[in-house]
Amino acid sequence: MTLSLLHVDARTGTVAALTATGGVAVGGYVHHAWRGIGGCATQGLSTNPWYPSELRSLLKQGSEATAALHEVISRDAGAPRRQCLVMDSHGRAAVHSGADNLPCVASRLATGIAVAGNLLAGEQVVDALFECFVRDNCENSSAVLAGTAEPAWRPGHESHLLESLVNCLAEALGAGGDVRGTRSAALRIESFSAAPLDLRVDWSDGDLLDQLRSLVNQVRAPGFAEFLASLPNQ
């Protein structure tokens, strides 16, 4: 399995990405977040590590997520082996799930929040991640989950995005996660109000979530928090 989430707040330009997998060093290959531009997760049976640079360029030029994704997929002979999730600066999302990634591939897309995964224990894994993030961060979560409204982000939700991403990953893993077990996870948050956050557990033989939460605790500790606050945001 590789399971990824993208979030864009079109009001502020903040972009967040989360990914987890049964393989090694997922943060080095899969998820990408570019403030004010959008993000992508390139995964699947065979990841294409060159998609991100092309997608970033297209999104920066103003392409919508669907058009940008179509352009890179159309040039890739290995597209049936890929799964790629893209979100543009307006929060519009698109996903490609190549046929070779079956049997269990799933995705859920809404404005500003999108989740996709492959080699899943079941579609409920994607549902758990998507629904947890919506509940955590939307002031109209019931309507969003019912499909009757677009997400309305809670004021100040960005201040706890870090914790929300980890908590929602826990929900997804609790729903079944990777059929092989989940061994690496990573997240990145980029905004115009703070330096980027980029946390990674490249391999875990033990409790992956405990290791990720330990990193979060270190980031939130006064010493590092002061250091982070002292960094330029551009």
- Residue 220's identity, in one-letter code, is R
In 1-123, which ranges are continuous DSSP H helix?
51-60, 65-74
pTM above 0.85, yes or no: yes
CATH of the domain at 118: 3.60.20.10
Tell me which residue range forms the domain holding 178: 2-230
* 43 touches 30 (CB < 8 A): yes
The CA distance from 142 to 148, in Å, is 9
Residues 43 and 117: their CA atoms lie apart, in Å, by: 8
Nearest CA to 120 out of 85, 172, 185, 183 is that of 172
Mean pLDDT is lowest, of 105-119, 125-139, 164-178, 187-201, for: 164-178
Q: What is the pLDDT of residues 106-135, one digit of tens each?
A: 999 999 999 999 989 899 999 999 999 999
Q: What gap in Å lies between CA 201 and CA 183, rounded to an integer?
A: 8
Q: How many separate domains does the chain show? A: 1
Interval 31-46 mean pLDDT: 98
Mean pLDDT, rounded, for 35-44: 98
> At 203, is the secondary structure helix, strand, or coil?
coil
State the DSSP string of 9-22.
ETTTTEEEEEEEES
Percent above pLDDT 90 for the chain: 94
